[in-house]
Structure 1
Amino acid sequence: MSDNQSKNMTWRNLALMCFAIVWGFGNVVNNFANQGLQVIVSWILIIGMYFIPYALMVGELGATFREGKGGVSSWIGTTMGRRLAYLAGWTYWVVHVPYLAQKPQGVMIALSWALFQDGSIIKNIDPLTLQTISLLVFICFVWIASRGITSLKRIGTLAGSSVFIMSLLYILLMVTAPAITGIKPATTNMSFKTFIPTFDFAYFTTISMLVFAVGGSEKIAPYINNMKNPSKGFPKGMIALAVMVAISALLGSYAMGMMFDANNLASDLKMNGQYYAFKKLGEYYGLGNVFLILYALSNTTAQISALMISIDAPLKVLIADADSKYIPKALTKTNKYGAPINGYKLVTVLVGILIIIPALGIGDMNSLYNWLLDLNSVVMPMRYLWVFLAYMALRKAAAGTYSSEYKFVKNSKLGFGIGLWCFVFTAFVCIMGIFPKGVETYTSQWYFQITLNILTPFILIGLGLILPIIAKKTNGKNELNGSQDVDTIA
């Protein structure tokens, strides 16, 4: 294929592809549960001051380092050295551990709604019992992933697309419901003040969820080289993406305010809000539970697929370009199906700890679900910090060191300043997200949650500092003994 043939992606293609990667209905529900209708102004601020600069910086990094197959770790490796590149790759992988710890819950919640059209079964179960089942479910899917089964992933991709389409359909049908069905909005006292946030301590503890929602656009960086005219097309695509995200976030939040009283939100809205929404939508249009069942079935399969992909893909990113100085060779060994089996074992141990220990101190299933979701909003944005570090290093480099068809801003000092702003803001929201939400302050459960919120990131990142020590002691010995890359036992 010629270079001209490969460069056939338009800005529209890029925007739509990135929208599917970045956005989901859960982003609307979770942030509405945190802030009510005040989240509409929060969305406007976060998209304008953070998301657009972030996406455009990713574009410049992707255009500059076209051959970087490792994404963020390649950018860091080129600009800041291999040691920091390893830490970036480790961070990208290890922040998925809390995500994986919650996915089995998501599978069971979606399945219970599909089968029984009721969320009370999961909500009322003993946390330790459910988390034990979650661990067994996770181990089952680790085993499946280790066998190289990919058909379920393909089915999950299709299901994920249907969930995405139904999410947009919800917004359309709910916004038009008053005119079509005559329903009255649940939030009755909407005024200008309804939408203006109170910028207090409690508010700032919730914005990590907003950052978590809009992150992830670095995944599309490699595709900038497939565009017809990157210098013009990429910013167009990112602006279009921002517009689509803004429309979905603003209309979605408004639709949620029409369906649920923003001043009296259910405590389990994060866990069951998506299903409540589709259940009510079916009732509005006289279709019973049709929307609910379709969404729950699609989401069950999509959750399973996301679980399997997240077990496999981030680990392969970590070890694909592994430097023997930092990663023990044993961790890169694969079984006869090509799965990094020792890496899977490490994932299982870390996820198992994070599944079981919180259940010992968090009293009910809803609180446990909300805590894991909030923990994800603290840990996941930590990987974005490396994007901004790479961008600052790029703009600090001497003129002519790196060339690119596309630049976010021409002035290097301005570019460095924007990168620094995004870095500081991300670090700030991660720190603020540590404080528990929806829990009475200074109770035993509050102390338990904040302790886990502080220890978990430090332990996960700290493990990455231990691996190079193990690699230094074992890799030379392994190579001397002629160890093989294939482990057929597992």
Structure 2
Amino acid sequence: MGENKVKKITTGALVLMIFSTIFGFANTPVAFMQMGYGAIFWYILGAFLYFLPSSMMYAEYGSALKESKGGIYSWLDASISGKWAFIATFIWLSAWVIWQVMISQKICVTVSTIIFGHDTTGTWHLFGLNSTLTVALVSILGVVAITWLVNHGIDTIAKISSVGGLAVMLLNAVLIISSVVILFKNNFQLAQPIHHISDFATSVNQSFQSPIAMISFMIYAIFAYGGLESMGGVTDSLDKPEKTFPKAIIISTIVIGIGYALNIFLWGISINWNQVVDHPNVNLANITYVLMQNLGIELGQAFGLSTSAALTMGTVFSRVSALGMLCAYLGSFFVLVYSPLKSFIMGSPKSLWPEKVTKLNKNGMPSIALWIQTTIVCVLIASIAIASTLIHQDSKFLFNLLTSMSNVSSTLPYVFLVGAFPFFKKRTDLDRPFEAFHSRKVMLTIVVITCTVLLIANGFTIIQPFLDKDWVSAVATVAGPLGFGTFAYILYTVRSKRANKQNN
């Protein structure tokens, strides 16, 4: 009865896993809004200068440290030091905190689109509050409710994410099929015309036309390829990992890179940037639904439907896309509200945390830590909404600000991971079932290139608002990583000294 061998993951299965983890449908509407066709060049550049080399590094980390439970904390702790591992992971955790702030408010837009067929959050008013503060209040109530449910172990709701994943795949299919039909029916005329080959590298958006702004867009591309660090731990389950993983990564880089480039181009078939995107009511939270609504309208008109029928088709498209994104957002939220936090707390030394923070409730959840995190999220939601109101800024400013904060916070820890890789490779006491880099010279060259790309992308994203004298965005963009990093340093220093005194 020797048939009970564990089934190994094949190349094809791994490619599908990577694709479902990395590829995000909502990334391409954002890219088209920010850069038009110009996003294509930067997304392809991001695939080959960041996604391909970093994924190989993460695979080596994950395979050699597969027994560690702390994720990127364990990787950095084994490579450089506990202090820098703690600081970098705390910054990484701040990205998920800011992500919660952003997604909680995007869910409001999504629900509004499902009910009304378009984004009406700009007209929401409760208790005499303006729309920005009303959305913030609803978002806070939503975050509190989700945290309460997670604390009670309602992990089955996370299964919504699988439904959301299926819905997003269907949205991709709808975009491709509808765009091809519209292109054929319109005699291959693009709604967003191509005047020159440079259109595939430069932006139609005035906010991204300067050299620094264009280069800073690279961070959007890097963010779109984020999440692969979670795949590093599967190498021990692969069939011939030394061949399977690099092959799957190369295939995934090509497939995802082409997929992003294709989707960005497809939006130009039905969307004229100046007529649809360049509008004060269009922002990073509702752009997906605006483009999907317009796709439905254009498809209806291509088939010769009446104006009212075409508008109805557009409303159906926007509602269906909002329903799919709601499933994806909720599924992700229920997992990510506790998964990164729990991984960090359980993976780092318990002496670095107050005892109550590390204590798990009867459902296996770090309840105190979750409520501390939720308090921080709620304070940030309220603070940003109040600040936006005081300086008389609209929702477009708010979501641009949150996106920049999230992008920097989430990609900055990658600098630590890539930069620590040469130190990780120096260790001779680790069992390495998978090695992508055998030549130290080649490895160092790739590390320098990848680190440079990450530093330039983050640096230019931080510098741009200072050059534009947009002081609120400038301060907010660096406040997240700097604030969390400083707090992590202080916490680590204080707790380490206290632990050392107790030991002595």
TM-score normalised by L of structure 2: 0.86
Provide the aligned length of Structure 1 versus Structure 2.
473
For 1:134-174, what per-residue CA distance to the aligned partner results, in whole angstroms no more than 9, with x for missing partners? 11221121111111111221123312331233134313431
Write the mapping of 1:33-112 to structure 2, written as runs, cut at 5 A.
Answer: 33-112=33-112
For 1:40-69, what per-residue CA distance to the aligned partner results, in whole angstroms no more than 9, with x for missing partners? 111222212221111122222223333233
Report the AA paired with residue 27 of structure 1: N
For 1:310-355, what per-residue CA distance to the aligned partner results, in whole angstroms no more than 9, with x for missing partners? 1110111111123133222221122233221111122122212221
Residue of structure 2 in register with 1:282 after alignment: 296
2:157 equivalent to 1:155: no
Q: CA deviation at 1:406?
A: 2.9
Contact 1:46 1:210 in 2 (8 A): yes
For 1:378-401, what per-residue CA distance to the aligned partner results, in whole angstroms no more than 9, with x for missing partners? 111022123213322123x16x54
1:404 to 432, 437, 443: 432
For 1:242-283, what per-residue CA distance to the aligned partner results, in whole angstroms no more than 9, with x for missing partners? 122112111111011222224563252522221122222323
SS state of the match for residue 271, structure 1?
coil
Residue of structure 1 in register with 2:24 after alignment: 24
2:374 equivalent to 1:351: no
What CA distance in whole angstroms lies between the structure 1 residues aligned with 2:178 and 2:10?
30
Contact 2:283 2:396 in 1 (8 A): no
Residue of structure 2 in register with 1:423 after alignment: 451
Q: CA deviation at 1:118?
A: 1.4
What CA distance in whole angstroms lies between the structure 1 residues aligned with 2:3 and 2:102?
43
2:145 equivalent to 1:140: yes
Closer, same or farther: CA 232–123 of 1 in aligned 2, 3 Å: farther
Closer, same or farther: CA 458–88 of 1 in aligned 2, 3 Å: closer
SS state of the match for residue 215, structure 1?
coil
SS state of the match for residue 448, structure 1?
helix
Closer, same or farther: CA 323–189 of 1 in aligned 2, 3 Å: closer
SS state of the match for residue 285, structure 2?
helix
SS state of the match for residue 5, structure 1?
coil
Contact 1:103 1:303 in 2 (8 A): yes
Q: CA deviation at 1:435?
A: 4.4
Q: Which runs of 5+ in 1 are unaligned?
A: 480-490
Q: CA deviation at 1:302?
A: 2.0
Closer, same or farther: CA 46–476 of 1 in aligned 2, 3 Å: closer
Closer, same or farther: CA 75–473 of 1 in aligned 2, 3 Å: closer
Contact 2:271 2:294 in 1 (8 A): no
Residue of structure 2 in register with 1:382 after alignment: 412
Write the mapping of 1:253-292 to structure 2, written as runs, cut at 5 A.
Answer: 253-262=264-273, 265-267=277-279, 268-286=282-300, 287-292=313-318
Q: CA deviation at 1:241?
A: 0.9
Residue of structure 2 in register with 1:451 after alignment: 475
Q: Which runs of 5+ in 2 are unaligned?
A: 125-129, 203-208, 301-312
Identity across aligned pairs (percent)? 22
Residue of structure 2 in register with 1:361 after alignment: 387
Write the mapping of 1:163-312 to structure 2, written as runs, cut at 5 A.
Answer: 163-180=168-185, 184-197=189-202, 200-262=211-273, 265-267=277-279, 268-286=282-300, 287-312=313-338
What CA distance in whole angstroms lies between the structure 2 residues aligned with 1:298 and 1:347?
27
What CA distance in whole angstroms lies between the structure 1 residues aligned with 2:496 and 2:41?
51
1:463 to 484, 487, 494: 487
What CA distance in whole angstroms lies between the structure 2 residues aligned with 1:32 and 1:269?
12
For 1:431-483, what per-residue CA distance to the aligned partner results, in whole angstroms no more than 9, with x for missing partners? 2212466x9933xxx2122112222221112221232355358779999xxxx
Residue of structure 1 in register with 2:307 after alignment: none
For 1:163-220, what per-residue CA distance to the aligned partner results, in whole angstroms no more than 9, with x for missing partners? 2331343134314421157684211244312213367122123221111111211111
SS state of the match for residue 303, structure 1?
helix
What CA distance in whole angstroms lies between the structure 2 residues aligned with 1:473 and 1:77?
18
Closer, same or farther: CA 255–289 of 1 in aligned 2, 3 Å: same
Residue of structure 2 in register with 1:441 after alignment: 468
Report the AA paired with residue 338 of structure 2: D
SS state of the match for residue 270, structure 1?
coil
Closer, same or farther: CA 269–251 of 1 in aligned 2, 3 Å: farther
Contact 2:10 2:244 in 1 (8 A): yes
Contact 2:219 2:408 in 1 (8 A): yes
Q: CA RMSD in A?
A: 2.8
Closer, same or farther: CA 5–447 of 1 in aligned 2, 3 Å: same
Report the AA paired with residue 407 of structure 1: E
